[in-house]
Homo-oligomer: A and B are copies of this chain.
Amino acid sequence: MKRMILAAVLAVAVHGVAVADSDAVAAARSYRKANDARILRDFADLLAIPNVAARPGELRRTAVAIRDGLASRGVSAELLEIDGVPPIVYGRLDAPGAERTLGIYVHYDGQPVDPSQWSHPPFEPRLYTAPVDRGGRSRPFPEAEEAIDPEWRISARGAGDDKAPLGAIFPALDALRAAGIPRTSNLVFFFEGEEEAGSDHLSDYMAAHREKIDPVDLWLICDGPVHQSRRPQLVFGVRGYTGIDITVYGAERYLHSGHYGNWAPNPAHDLARLLATMKDDQGRVLIEGFYDSVAPLTESERQALAEVPDVDEELRLELGLARSEGVGSLVERIQMPSLNIRGIASATVGSSARNIVPIRAEVSIDVRLVKGNDPAGMLDLVERHVTAQGYHIVRDKPDHATRLAHPRIARVVRRPGYPAVRTSMDLEIVEPVIEAASRAAGESVVLMPTLGGSLPLYLFTEQLQRPLVIVPIANHDDNQHAPDENLRLANLWYGIDLFAALFTM
Interface residues in chain A, defined as those with a beta carbon under 8 Å from any beta carbon in chain B: 239, 241, 245, 250-253, 255-266, 268-273, 275-279, 281, 283, 285, 316-317, 319-326, 330, 333-334, 336, 338-350, 353-358, 361-364, 366, 368, 400, 403-407, 451-454
Residues of the B chain whose Cβ atoms lie less than 8 Å from the Cβ of A257: 338, 340, 342, 366, 368
| Contact between chains at A266 and B341 (CB < 8 Å) | yes
| Contact between chains at A345 and B344 (CB < 8 Å) | yes
Among B272, B330, B338, B357, the residue within 8 A (CB) of A344 is: B272
Question: A403 vs B226: C-alpha distance in the bound complex, in angstroms?
Answer: 29
| Contact between chains at A324 and B264 (CB < 8 Å) | yes
| Contact between chains at B322 and A407 (CB < 8 Å) | yes
Q: Which residue of B lies closest to A285 (CB)?
A: B262
Question: A15 vs B245: C-alpha distance in the bound complex, in angstroms?
Answer: 54
| Contact between chains at A333 and B262 (CB < 8 Å) | yes
Given contacts A252-B319, A342-B356, 11 further A-B contacts (CB under 8 A): A239-B258, A251-B320, A261-B338, A262-B338, A262-B368, A269-B275, A322-B407, A341-B346, A342-B347, A344-B344, A345-B350
> What are 28 A-B pairs at a CB distance below 8 A?
A245-B349, A245-B350, A251-B319, A251-B321, A252-B320, A253-B319, A257-B342, A258-B453, A260-B452, A261-B452, A262-B336, A263-B334, A264-B324, A264-B325, A266-B340, A268-B341, A269-B278, A272-B273, A273-B275, A276-B276, A322-B406, A323-B407, A342-B347, A342-B348, A342-B354, A344-B344, A349-B362, A349-B364
The 3 closest A-B pairs by CB, nearest first: A276-B276, A258-B453, A261-B340
Residues of the B chain whose Cβ atoms lie less than 8 Å from the Cβ of A276: 272-273, 275-277
Question: A69 vs B317: C-alpha distance in the bound complex, in angstroms?
Answer: 72
Query: Would A320 and B400 be within 8 Å (CB), given that A341-B346, A342-B356, A349-B362 are in contact?
Result: yes
